[in-house]
Structure 1
Amino acid sequence: MTNKARAASAALVVDARGMRCPWPALRLARAMREAADVLLLADDPQAWREVAALAGERGWTLADGAEGGWRVRRD
Structure 2
Amino acid sequence: MTDATLPAADREIDARGLNCPLPILRTKKALAQLNSGQVLSVLTTDPHAGRDFQAFCQQTGNALLAQQARDDAVMVHYVRRR
TM class, shorter-chain normalised?
Answer: 0.7 to 0.9
3-state SS of paired residue (1:64): strand
Calculate the TM-score normalised by the size of structure 1. 0.79
Letter in 1 for 2:45: D
- Name the structure with the higher helix share: 1
Letter in 2 for 1:64: Q
Letter in 2 for 1:29: K
Which residue of structure 1 lines up, in the alignment, with residue 48 of structure 2?
46
The reply on whether 1:26 has 2:25 as its aligned counterpart is yes
- Count of residues paired in the alignment: 72
Q: CA deviation at 1:29?
A: 0.6
Q: CA RMSD in A?
A: 2.3
Q: CA deviation at 1:42?
A: 0.3
Calculate the TM-score normalised by the size of structure 2. 0.73
Q: Which runs of 4+ in 1 moved over 6 A?
A: none
**Counterparts of 1:55-66 in structure 2 under 5 Å?**
55-62=57-64, 63-65=66-68
In structure 2, stretches of 5+ residues that fail to align are: none
Distance 1:14 1:26 in 2: 11
Distance 1:3 1:52 in 2: 22
